[in-house]
């Protein structure tokens, strides 16, 4: 029997002690009337008045000293010391506390403000009851959890014991709240679009597929936060819309990539890429100020200042400068040969679009940013409007610390051009490129009723992970992991 099993068995025995004393181990009601942080905030007033308050929280430490017990409790707001003295207390209840309460238990405590000889603000315990008896011991606060896989599988313990982890997820909440406030203040309408789609669109990605039993059809988990649906809403007459939602991509996992994650997408009628670049800078700086109170971040080997001037980088020019091939005029064979000459490990069959994309990914690794990447070939972006040069599109991407953080473009609103580009993408799919986009007949039909010129923009939680300088999976509360194999 393991030590963990022995501890669990001992704690189960303590359930009987509670039961024999007439105390429930898992009651449904608590008389808690104040939080720990509120109690400490009112401490001087309570100290003077002698008023009694009732708190509730988890026991994080226990220390016995003769006829006195010290315990630290944490209720999610902050931590506070309890002082429980045998003298003057109900002897049976004091002994029950000593025998039945363990680190990890949730307790309710009634008491008064008490300042120790060392000046520690505490609660002097008058009475107590069990709220939830813990059967498994939590790791020591002093050591916590060191194994990375365990921190991800038992994130609840990591958050409980690691103030840095807890603070990160509080910032994550503020991150999305700041974005939402930024958009609502500019009169954007928040919407919800389908997560299950009969045809996935709005991005170049491999979808997850499942079967809808009621309709007896195969459906896909969406690969974008409703891009084609939100543009239908522009057609419907809403001038500004956005969605913050989960998207799913059945692709590889890396420090920057996850299969399911949260993404923002916004669409603004009567705007374009140039206006959108100013919108994007304002949004990034708003996030930095509201969430972090600063504009400069250490990300990997880079130092990035969002308050600095944002440069502009030419996509085709950088690739031609580095590899000697023009993404517009080169042939497919020339693009593929450039990848081979650069000894870039791709792990997939290449066509021109994929080869050029791999060349660019090699270039971007050394770019600090913040900067806007512009002038991408039209064959890489089937949903963006062509620029004055019809071979390139009005698309910008934000570059930070060697990676792409977000994307925006002047939306293609010509239904004939859109159909032609969808058909080209469909030909790429038919030739084996399973990340090429599908021909969405219904979307093209909607466009034929007239879609206003617009700027579309997308940003994912990758930005949050970068600002935290952490791998993407560490910045998620509960990242997907392979089931753990139990020892037989």
Residue 354 maps to a domain: no
Are 242 and 301 part of one and the same domain?
yes
The structural domain count of the chain equals 2
What tokens appear for 33 in the block? 């009337």
Residue 396 maps to a domain: yes
Which are the contacts of 389, defined by CB distance < 8 A and separation ≥ 6?
Answer: none
Are 179 and 274 part of one and the same domain?
yes
Backbone angles phi, psi at 70, to 5 degrees: -110, 140
Containing structural domain, residue 119: 3-132
DSSP conformation letters of 430-466: HTT-TTSPP--HHHHHHHTT----EEEEEEETHHHHH
**pLDDT of 175:** 98
**pLDDT of 486:** 59
Residue 179 maps to a domain: yes
Residue 330 maps to a domain: no
**Taking the chain (488 residues) in consecutive chunks of 10 residues, what is each chunk's mean pLDDT?**
82 96 96 97 96 97 91 97 95 95 97 96 97 91 66 90 94 98 98 92 83 94 92 97 95 86 97 97 98 97 96 95 94 93 85 92 94 94 91 96 95 93 84 77 94 96 97 93 69
Are 303 and 431 part of one and the same domain?
yes
| CATH number where 419 lies | 3.30.930.10
Neighbours of 235 (CB within 10 A): 18
Are 241 and 303 part of one and the same domain?
yes
Strands (E), 213-253: 217-221, 240-248
Alpha helices in 226-345 (DSSP H): 227-236, 273-287, 315-323, 332-341
**pLDDT of 394:** 96
Strand partners, 299: 302
Residue 447 maps to a domain: yes
Are 170 and 75 part of one and the same domain?
no
Q: For the whole prediction, is pTM greater than 0.85?
A: yes
Backbone angles phi, psi at 390, to 5 degrees: -65, -10
**pLDDT of 143:** 58
Are 377 and 455 part of one and the same domain?
yes
**pLDDT of 5:** 85
Which are the contacts of 428, defined by CB distance < 8 A and separation ≥ 6?
Answer: 351, 353, 436
Are 89 and 186 part of one and the same domain?
no
Query: What is the C-alpha separation between 248 and 487, in angstroms, rounded?
Result: 32
Residue 463 maps to a domain: yes
Are 288 and 173 part of one and the same domain?
yes
Are 118 and 234 part of one and the same domain?
no
The three-state secondary structure class of 207 is coil
Are 178 and 110 part of one and the same domain?
no
Query: What is the C-alpha separation between 461 and 175, in angstroms, rounded?
Result: 9
Distance spanning both ends of the chain, measured CA to CA: 14
Query: What is the C-alpha separation between 37 and 19, in angstroms, rounded?
Result: 32
| CATH number where 39 lies | 2.40.50.140
**pLDDT of 1:** 59
Are 289 and 398 part of one and the same domain?
yes
The three-state secondary structure class of 279 is helix
Strands (E), 66-188: 68-74, 79-85, 106-115, 121-132
């Amino acid at each position: 029997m393991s030590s963990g099993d022995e501890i669990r068995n001992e704690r189960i025995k303590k359930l009987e002690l509670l039961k024999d004393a007439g105390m429930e181990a898992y009651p449904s009601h608590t008389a808690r009337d104040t939080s720990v942080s509120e109690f400490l905030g009112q401490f001087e007033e309570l100290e003077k008045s002698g008023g009694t308050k009732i708190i509730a929280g988890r026991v994080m430490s226990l220390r016995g000293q003769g006829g006195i017990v010290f315990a630290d409790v944490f209720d999610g707001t902050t931590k506070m010391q309890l002082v429980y003295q045998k003298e003057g207390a109900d002897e049976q209840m004091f002994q029950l506390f000593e025998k039945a309460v363990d680190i990890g238990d949730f307790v309710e405590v009634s008491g008064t403000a008490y300042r120790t000889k060392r000046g520690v603000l505490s609660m002097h315990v008058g009475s107590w009851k069990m709220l939830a008896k813990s059967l498994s011991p939590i790791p020591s606060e002093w050591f916590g959890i060191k194994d990375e896989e365990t921190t991800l599988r038992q994130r609840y313990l990591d958050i409980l014991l690691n103030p840095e982890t807890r603070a990160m997820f509080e910032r994550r909440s503020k991150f999305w709240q700041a974005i939402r406030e930024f958009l609502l203040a500019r009169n954007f309408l928040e919407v919800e679009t389908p997560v299950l789609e009969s045809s996935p669109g709005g991005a170049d990605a491999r979808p997850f597929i499942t079967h809808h039993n009621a309709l007896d059809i195969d459906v896909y988990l969406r690969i974008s936060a409703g891009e084609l649906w939100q543009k239908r809403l522009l057609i419907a007459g809403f001038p500004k819309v956005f969605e913050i939602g989960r998207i799913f991509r059945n692709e590889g996992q890396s420090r920057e990539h996850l299969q399911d994650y949260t993404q923002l997408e916004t669409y603004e009628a009567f705007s374009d890429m140039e206006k959108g670049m100013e919108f994007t800078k304002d949004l990034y700086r708003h996030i930095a100020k509201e969430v972090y109170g600063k504009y400069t971040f250490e990300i990997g080997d880079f130092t990035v200042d969002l308050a600095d001037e944002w440069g502009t980088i030419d996509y085709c020019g950088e690739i031609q400068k580095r590899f000697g091939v023009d993404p517009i005029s080169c042939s497919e064979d020339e693009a593929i040969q450039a990848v081979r000459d650069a000894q870039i490990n791709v792990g997939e069959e290449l066509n021109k679009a994929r080869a050029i994309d791999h060349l660019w990914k090699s270039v971007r690794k050394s770019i600090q940013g913040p900067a806007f990447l512009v002038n991408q070939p039209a064959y890489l972006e089937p949903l963006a409007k062509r620029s004055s040069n019809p071979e390139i599109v009005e698309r910008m991407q934000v570059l930070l610390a060697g990676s792409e953080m977000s994307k925006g473009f002047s939306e293609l609103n010509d239904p004939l051009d859109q159909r032609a580009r969808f058909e080209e993408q469909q030909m790429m799919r038919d030739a084996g490129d399973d990340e090429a986009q599908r021909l969405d007949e219904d979307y093209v039909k909607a466009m034929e009723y007239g879609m206003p010129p617009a700027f579309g923009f997308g940003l994912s939680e990758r930005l949050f992970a970068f600002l935290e300088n952490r791998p993407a999976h560490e910045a998620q509360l509960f990242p997907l992991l392979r089931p753990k194999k139990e020892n037989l």
